[in-house]
Amino acid sequence: SPAGMALSVLVILLLSVLYEAVKMGKAVLLRRALLALPRSLSRESLAEPEEGDAGDAGPRQGRWFRYHVAQTLFHVAQVVLGYLVMLAVMSYNAWVFLGAVAGSTLGYFV
């Protein structure tokens, strides 16, 4: 039905916008993770700090690890959304394809 097709195109459009938002969120997290990365990547700097150690290396390393976990979750969401949009486009429906393109364009623009 026309209403079902319109709803399908709208859902694909929103999935494409969400895909672009997740992709951008992943890039922002990468930037923050790189800023939180310890200056030295030696084995000692990545190990847990001892109780007597002074400095802010400990919180910085913990922040880096949280950013890395968040990036992993964003990556999983990006892959799942990408495959869902690809699966919809592979229905070879021109309207669904145009919805995916419009959603990707809108998501990138925003």
Digit-coded pLDDT (tens) for 29-40: 888 888 777 676
| Residue 59 pLDDT greater than 80, yes or no | no
For residue 102, what are its two tokens?
């419009």
Question: So what's the pLDDT on residue 37?
Answer: 73
For residue 101, what are its two tokens?
């393109």
Per-residue pLDDT averaged across 49-65, rounded? 60
Please report where in the chains the tokens 């925003």 appear, as a residue: 110
How far are the Cα atoms of 36, 37, 45, 53, 61 from residue 41, in angstroms, in the given order?
12, 8, 6, 18, 11
Span 63-104, pLDDT tens digits: 778 888 888 999 999 999 999 999 999 999 999 999 999 999
Residue with the bigger pLDDT between 84 and 50: it is 84
Could you give phi then psi for residue 25, rounded to 5 degrees?
-60, -40
